[in-house]
Amino acid sequence: MTVLASVATVVASARAEVSALHGELVRYGLVAWTSGNVSARVPGTDLMVIKPSGVSYDDLTPSSMVVCDLDGTVVDGDLSPSSDTATHAYVYRHMPQVGGVVHTHSTYGCAWAARGEPVPCVLTAMADEFGGEIPVGPFAPIGDDAIGRGIVSTLAGHRSPAVLMQNHGVFTIGKDARAAVKAAVMCEDVARTVHLARQLGSPLPIPAADIDRLYDRYQNAYGQRPASRE
C-alpha cells in the first residue's frame, strides 16, 4: 500500500467513526439541535476529522465530515467545520496523547458549569472514571484559542478526562474519539446524580486514598483482557 493510499484509508476510517459517534450524543441525550460535536485525531497524521457546522445529527454521514489540519484549516470536505474546530485543534496540538475530543452542552454538566462549581467526587463511579472531582475551567470567549487554552491548562496534570468550562459546557478528551464520548456520557450521568443527591442533603466525600485505589483498579484491572476495558 502506498503512503497516500494508507492515509486515505485511515482518514476514511476516522470519517466513519466520527460520523457514527455523533449518534451516541443523541442516544444519551447530551445534545439539543446541533450543539455538540465529536472529533478524532487521524492516527499517524497531523490531521483531525470533525463534525460539519450546523448540520442535523440525522443528516451526518462519513462523507459530510470535515478533515482539518491541526491548525483547524480545512484539508478535505465540502462543508464548513464545526465552530468549535479551533478549540479541538488547540487540544490536539498541546496534548499529544489525546486522540479524541468531545464537546456538549449537556443539561446537568452545564448546570454545574453555570455555577462554576466542580462536581465533587462522591460516587465510586466518579473515582473510577475521573479519579477525583470534575474540574471547572475558566470563562472564555468563543472564537479564538481561549477555550482551548482553558481546557489544556485545567486538564494538564489532572486525572479527569472531562472539564466543565464555566458558563459554557462540557469538553472531554480520550485516547480516541470513543473514549472521549464515553467520558461525556459518564460526566453527564454523575453530574445528574450528584445534583439529585444535593437536593436532600450533603453528599459524603470519598477519602482521597480510596479514590486513588478505585481509580487504579478501574483504569488498570477492570474489564476484559486484553481488549479495551470500555
**Minimum distance between the CB of residue 26 and Zn ion, rounded to whole angstroms?**
16
**Minimum distance between the CB of residue 35 and Zn ion, rounded to whole angstroms?**
6
| CB-nearer residue toward Zn ion: 100 or 169 | 169
* Residues touching Zn ion, count (CB under 5 A): 1
What are 35's three cell numbers?
Answer: 450543539
| CB-nearer residue toward Zn ion: 13 or 153 | 153
CA distance 75 to 46: 11
**Minimum distance between the CB of residue 34 and Zn ion, rounded to whole angstroms?**
11
Residue for grid cell 473514549: 179
**Minimum distance between the CB of residue 36 and Zn ion, rounded to whole angstroms?**
8
Note whether 199 and 182 are within 8 A (CB).
no
| CB-nearer residue toward Zn ion: 43 or 54 | 54
Which segments within the chain are labelled E, that is strand?
37-41, 47-50, 66-69, 74-76, 100-104, 136-137, 162-165, 169-174
**Minimum distance between the CB of residue 84 and Zn ion, rounded to whole angstroms?**
6
**C-beta nearest to Zn ion: residue:** 169
| CB-nearer residue toward Zn ion: 11 or 84 | 84
**Minimum distance between the CB of residue 76 and Zn ion, rounded to whole angstroms?**
24
One DSSP character per residue, 108-139 reads: HHHHHHHHT-PBP--SHHHHHHHSS-B-EEPP
Query: What residues from 164 to 203 belong to the interface with Zn ion (CB under 5 A)?
Result: 169
DSSP 28: T
Q: Which stretch binds Zn ion (CB under 5 A): 9-17, 93-101, 163-171, 174-182?
A: 163-171
Note whether 159 and 132 are within 8 A (CB).
yes
What backbone torsions phi and psi does residue 122 show, to the nearest 5 degrees? -125, 15
| CB-nearer residue toward Zn ion: 110 or 211 | 110
Count of CA atoms in the C-beta half-sphere (13 A) of 173: 27
| CB-nearer residue toward Zn ion: 131 or 169 | 169
Residues making contact with Zn ion (CB under 5 A): 169
